[in-house]
Every structure is written in C-alpha cells, then in structure tokens.
C-alpha cells in the first residue's frame, strides 16, 4: 500500500494528543465494536486516496498553527507503511510531533516499525477480561495487551483510553482488573475514562443506556480507592438520561 486512504481530516483538534493537532482519520478497522460511533470508517474502502507527498503538503500548509499530527481512524495502523513514510518525512523536515490513536490490535512487526517515527500512542483498551473484550470487539485482547506493554517499554504510551459501558465492562471486578493492570504497567500511566454514550451507535449496544454523571462519579471514586491517581476525566462528555 503506497497511498493513505483517508476518511476525513480535522485541521485543528485539542482532544487528540498534546496541543493543537491536525488529525488524519484513516479508513478501515480490524475490530467490529458494538458501540462504534464511526461505523463508516470500518470497511477498507469508500475513502479518498492521497499519496504521502500530497498528505505531507497538506500538513505543511498548516504547520505554523499546530503542535503536531495524530493518526486515528478506523484503525490507522492498518495503513502502517504509508503512515510510517509520512511520519518519517515529518520528522525529517519539520518540528511537528507525531502521535497514533490505536485500538492496539497491531502486530509486533508493524508496531516496531512505527515506534521509530512516533512520539506517543493513545491506546484503547476495551476490557482487561478476554471474554468481555471479545464480546465488545469480536476479537480477543492478547495483541492489544502486548501492544500496550511494548509502548510502555519504549516510554511512548501517552495515555490509555477506556470506554465505560454500563453492564458490560464497568463491574467491580472489571474496574479492579483495570486498576491492577495499570499499576502493573507503570505508575505514571495516564488513564482516560470515557463515559459510554448511545447516540449514533448502530451496533448491538445501541439499546444500552448512556452513562449518567452519578454512575461516572461513583466509578471515579472506586478507581481512586483502588490506588489510581493519574485519571483524565471527561465530565463534559457524557449525557444525562
């Protein structure tokens, strides 16, 4: 694959890594999450194709207004070869930082290649429990766990992201497993807890209620009691039922 297949480009974002960032939403995903809010990005088709040079030139026109570039999706690492070339070019010719927002289901070969040109990773962990993860995504979490550990080993895990889905992955055991996993990883790991919203969901979980503020606050309290301190809260992100 020589070109990048891009679903959309957001020129300026403050929620996709450090500082003001240009975000590339790449087409195609290797998970089929039952709460996906962007199902149009899942198929590996129906996206505009850009050469690495075209994408680089688009970014360069905006470089004075951004801190860096984030690749998201879909699952951006499916297009790891052109993405690696783009990041290498950015590293060689600009001061922009490069970040990847991934579901973690990326093989070691691709991850090793991307590590050399990527400043930080934001990795989604759908569930620590294997069966729960498979229920949410359709696949197990062995590779996701490996990817998270590899990013930590190279000191490039910017933050871990966890969507709290009522009745699916927010039980006391789920939260305890999550806290223990993070403490095992690295005490400096930042965890972003995202409340589930059912708006726009087309999968199996569309009938689940959105998380309420009270539910979210109780979970925050639980996570603090389990010894986690570096939690990124999303208080303006959830909806009240």
Residue 96: CB atoms within 10 Å? 20
The answer to whether residue 144 scores a pLDDT higher than 60 is yes
pLDDT at res. 238: 53
User: CB of 191 within 8 A of CB of 160?
Assistant: yes
At 100-143, the pLDDT tens digits run: 999 999 999 999 999 999 999 999 999 999 999 999 999 999 99
Arithmetic mean of pLDDT, 154-180:
96
Distance (Å, whole) CA 36 – CA 27: 14
What is the residue whose two structure tokens read 């570039």? Answer: 69
Question: Average pLDDT of the chain?
Answer: 93
pLDDT grade for 239, boundaries at 50, 70 and 90:
low
pLDDT at res. 168: 95
Which among 156, 173, 222 is positioned nearest to 193, based on CA atoms? Answer: 222
Arithmetic mean of pLDDT, 80-106:
98
Q: How far apart are the first and last CA of the chain?
A: 45
What is the residue whose two structure tokens read 């994408």? Answer: 55
Arithmetic mean of pLDDT, 163-189:
93
- Please tell me whether residue 155 adopts helix, strand or coil conformation: coil
Question: What tokens were used for 180?
Answer: 């223990």
At 50-71, the pLDDT tens digits run: 999 999 999 999 999 999 999 9
pLDDT at res. 236: 64
Question: pTM, whole model, 2 decimals?
Answer: 0.93
The answer to whether residue 202 scores a pLDDT higher than 70 is yes
The answer to whether residue 241 scores a pLDDT higher than 60 is no
Burial class of residue 131, CB neighbours in 10 A (0-12, 13-18, 19+): exposed
pLDDT grade for 13, boundaries at 50, 70 and 90:
very high
Arithmetic mean of pLDDT, 233-237:
68
Arithmetic mean of pLDDT, 37-44:
83
């Amino acid at each position: 694959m020589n070109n990048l297949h891009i679903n959309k480009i957001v020129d300026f974002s403050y929620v996709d890594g450090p500082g003001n960032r240009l975000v590339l939403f790449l087409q195609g995903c290797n998970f089929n999450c039952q709460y996906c809010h962007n199902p149009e990005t899942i198929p590996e088709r129906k996206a505009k194709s850009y050469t690495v040079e075209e994408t680089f030139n688009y970014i360069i026109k905006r470089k004075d207004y951004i801190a860096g570039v984030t690749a998201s999706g879909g699952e951006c690492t499916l297009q790891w070869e052109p993405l690696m070339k783009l990041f290498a070019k950015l590293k060689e010719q600009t001061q922009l930082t490069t970040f990847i927002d991934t579901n973690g289901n990326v093989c070691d070969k691709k991850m090793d290649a991307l590590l050399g040109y990527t400043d930080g990773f934001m990795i989604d962990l759908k569930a620590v429990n294997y069966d729960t993860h498979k229920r949410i995504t359709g696949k197990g979490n062995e590779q996701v766990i490996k990817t998270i550990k590899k990013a930590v080993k190279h000191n490039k895990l910017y933050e871990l992201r966890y969507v709290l889905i009522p009745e699916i992955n927010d039980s006391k055991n789920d939260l305890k497993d999550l806290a223990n996993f993070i403490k095992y990883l690295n005490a400096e790991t930042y965890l972003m807890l995202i409340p589930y919203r059912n708006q726009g969901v087309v999968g199996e979980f569309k009938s689940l209620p959105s998380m309420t503020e009270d539910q979210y606050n109780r979970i925050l309290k639980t996570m603090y009691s389990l010894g986690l301190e570096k939690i990124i809260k999303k208080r303006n992100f959830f909806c009240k039922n």
